[in-house]
Amino acid sequence: MKLFNIKTKMLQLLMALSIVALVSACSDDDSPAKSKGDFIITGGINGENFNNSYYTVAFEDLMNESLSFIGDDMLQMGYFSYNKIDDKIYCAGGLGATSLYVIEKDSEGNLTETGSFTTFNNSIQDVVKGDNSNVVAIEMSSSSDIVRLHLINSASLSVSKTADTPIASISSEVAPAYSGMVVSGNYLFVSFYISDPNTFGTPSTDKAEIAVFNYPELDFVKVIEDTRVGPIGGFGTMAGLIKDESGDVYALSHSNPANGFSQSTKPSGILRINSGETEFDADFFFDIEDITGGQNTAHLVYLGDGKVLTEINTAARSEQAAWSDSPLKTAIMDLHDESIQYIDGIPVHSGIGRKLAAVSIIDGKNIYLSVPEEDGIFIYQINTNSYTAVKGAEIEANFVAGIYQL
């Protein structure tokens, strides 16, 4: 992705100089970030071979002027994904990074890095909420013959349990690739798709597969399948599985060329696993293609009360450019009445091929979403009552890895 303006070019140079001085994944200066505010943004600057620079900064206002990261020092280096769970932001590393970092606010409202785990053999793919006391982290790598799950106490930031499951128990094909994880009641669900680790091709797209583990024991139970759709989730988006307030789990299948699939052989849509059960609901199928006239989505962010923020790919799968995550149109999906309402005021745009950067409803009606455009990346404030959006501040970065409220 191109640098959008002169300030961004200056920022890239400053960050490149800072990289030389780094001896760890974070800045040598352990002082807290200088900015304060309830809105938190992780802005990324592209580096060589995906060794990117991530700055996590607090802002008071997302709707005016520009949002700059210059002068702030909450830095991670590598290829990270970010998850806000309760009052903490968990930073999971990739491309060789095997630590898990935690960012939160101190008593004075400053952002601080309060946890760093160094006990993992492979990169942590994702972190999700387990219960009010624990989160779950997963190692799932093409270079390993096991799936390793960790139960982490969210207060002490200590690993209380680790459980290994052989890959062979989950799939007999080439290494499965992670696409989503959620805990519902006494079960942990992990979605995956088959991706050749050498070519990234997807040779098997004729069924949905989800690995089921018990919780909090993390012992493997079984793999459930459904042939109505193809694989659940896809590359980088972390949106294969979401959960509503009742504990129902929804599984998204898209097989989009725009999101890492080399072929598609089944319709796209959303399946459901009812709360307390470990099989797909045979009577539920959210046919996104039918509602949108042949389009689908790879992005889901659960908002509450059955509502989901989504980005509908306006091109049919046969017309999508590979790995493009484009062209996208923002919408709100209702899982309960199986409807989709497009948002007025946001242009059709490209994504960044990874987890959707959006903060859920803050004041009862607004969502804040980062949208890449030709002349920069901008915040849009979405009103969930009127389904309209207002353009806000420009973000001075190559991409946005997360927007949160702390």
Say if CB 360 and CB 303 are below 8 A apart. Answer: yes
- What's the rounded mean pLDDT across residues 381-400? 95
pLDDT attached to residue 324: 97
pLDDT, position 118: 64
Which of the four pLDDT bands, split at 50, 70 and 90, describes residue 109?
confident
The reported pLDDT for the residue numbered 77 is 78
Round to whole Å and give the CA distance between 191 and 193. Answer: 7
pTM higher than 0.95 for the full model?
no
Q: Give the whole-angstrom CA distance, residue 51 versus residue 330.
A: 29
Tokens 């590359």 locate to 235
Average pLDDT, the chain: 88
d(CA 279, CA 185): 14
pLDDT of residue 332: 96
Which amino acid type is present at position 356? L
CB burial of residue 323 (10 Å; 0-12, 13-18, 19+): middle
Q: Looking at residue 114, what is its pLDDT? A: 80
Q: What is the C-alpha to C-alpha distance for residues 47 and 77, in angstroms, rounded to an integer?
A: 9
Cβ atoms of 74 and 111 within 8 Å: the answer is: yes
Q: pLDDT class for 71, splitting at 50, 70, 90?
A: low
- DSSP single-letter state for residue 32: P
Extract the runs of DSSP E, i.e. beta strands, from 167-284. 176-184, 187-194, 208-214, 220-226, 241-243, 249-253, 269-273
The 10s digit of each residue's pLDDT in 301-356 is: 999 999 999 999 999 999 999 999 999 999 999 999 999 999 999 999 999 999 99
pLDDT band at 43 (very low <50, low <70, confident <90, very high): very high
Is residue 18 scored above 50 in pLDDT? no
pLDDT of residue 360: 65
In three-state secondary structure terms, 11 is helix
Domains and CATH numbers, the chain: 1-111+396-406 (no CATH), 119-308 (2.40.10.480)
Q: Long-range contacts made by residues 370-378, C-beta under 8 angstroms, separation at least 24? A: 370/41, 370/395, 370/400, 370/403, 371/330, 371/346, 371/347, 372/1, 372/399, 373/347, 373/349, 375/4, 376/4, 376/5, 377/4
8 three-state secondary structure: helix
Output the 3-class SS for 261-292.
CCCCCCCCEEEEECCCCCCCCCCCCECHHHHH
pLDDT given for residue 143 in this prediction: 81
